[in-house]
C-alpha cells in the first residue's frame, strides 16, 4: 500500500540534490525531497502516522505500521548546535499521527548562525524509484510531499 508522506513544515520544495550535504544530495540514506522552510516555520510535525523511533533536537524518524521509516532533518549540520535553538515537543517511542507537533525550532536563527535551514525529508533505505509524485513549489504543513510506493 502506498504511503503519502506529508510536509512537516511550510516552505519551498526542492530536490535533494540541491541540499548542501553529500549524504542527502546523493541520496545515500534514501530518496526524498527537501524543504527550504519559511522563516516562520517554527514547528516541525510528523509527516506520517507511526512511532517516533529516533528523536533528536535537530532530526527525527517516524516508522509507519508497515516498517517504512521517514527521516526529517531540521537544517544541515545543525547537530553542531547541540540542541541550542530547538525544543523537543514529543517523546522518543511515542505514537504520533501525521501532523502532530514534534520539534520547535527557528529556521531563520539557524541561517543567522551560518548553517543551512534546508530540511531533507527522506524515505530511509528506500530505492530511488520508491517515491513518486513529489510536490513542487510552495507547500503548506500537511500537504502531500511525495508518495512512497
Give the Å distances, CA to CA, from 129 to 23, 58, 86. Answer: 18, 27, 33
Quote the distance between the C-alpha of residue 74 and its chain's center: 7
Are the C-beta atoms of 75 and 134 separated by less than 8 Å?
no
Given a cut of 90, is residue 19 above it in pLDDT? yes
pLDDT digits (tens, 9 = 90+) for 86-107: 999 999 999 999 999 999 999 9
Which three cell numbers mark 110? 539557524
Percent of the chain with pLDDT over 90: 97
What pLDDT is stored for residue 24 in this prediction? 96
The mean predicted confidence, pLDDT, of the chain is 97
Query: What's the whole-model pTM score?
Result: 0.97
Q: Given 42, 58, 73, 97, which residue is catalytic?
A: 73
Given a cut of 90, is residue 41 above it in pLDDT? no
Answer yes or no: 73 catalytic: yes
Given a cut of 90, is residue 1 above it in pLDDT? no
Domains of the chain are 3-148 (2.70.70.10)
Q: Residue 76 and residue 111: Cα distance in Å, rounded?
A: 10
Mean pLDDT of 108-123: 97
Amino acid at each position: 500500500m502506498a504511503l503519502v508522506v506529508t510536509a512537516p513544515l511550510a516552505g519551498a520544495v526542492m530536490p535533494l540534490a540541491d541540499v548542501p550535504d553529500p549524504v542527502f544530495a546523493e541520496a545515500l540514506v534514501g530518496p526524498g525531497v527537501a524543504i527550504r522552510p519559511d522563516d516562520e516555520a517554527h514547528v516541525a510535525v510528523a509527516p506520517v502516522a507511526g512511532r517516533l523511533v529516533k528523536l533528536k533536537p535537530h532530526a527525527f524518524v517516524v516508522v509507519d505500521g508497515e516498517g517504512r521509516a521517514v527521516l526529517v532533518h531540521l537544517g544541515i549540520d545543525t547537530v553542531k548546535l547541540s540542541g541550542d535553538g530547538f525544543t523537543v515537543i514529543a517523546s522518543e517511542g511515542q505514537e504520533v499521527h501525521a501532523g502532530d507537533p514534534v520539534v520547535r525550532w527557528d529556521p531563520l536563527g539557524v541561517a543567522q548562525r551560518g548553517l543551512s535551514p534546508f530540511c531533507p525529508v527522506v524515505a530511509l533505505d528506500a530505492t530511488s524509484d520508491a517515491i513518486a509524485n513529489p510536490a513542487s513549489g510552495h507547500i503548506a504543513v500537511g500537504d502531500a510531499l511525495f508518495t512512497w510506493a
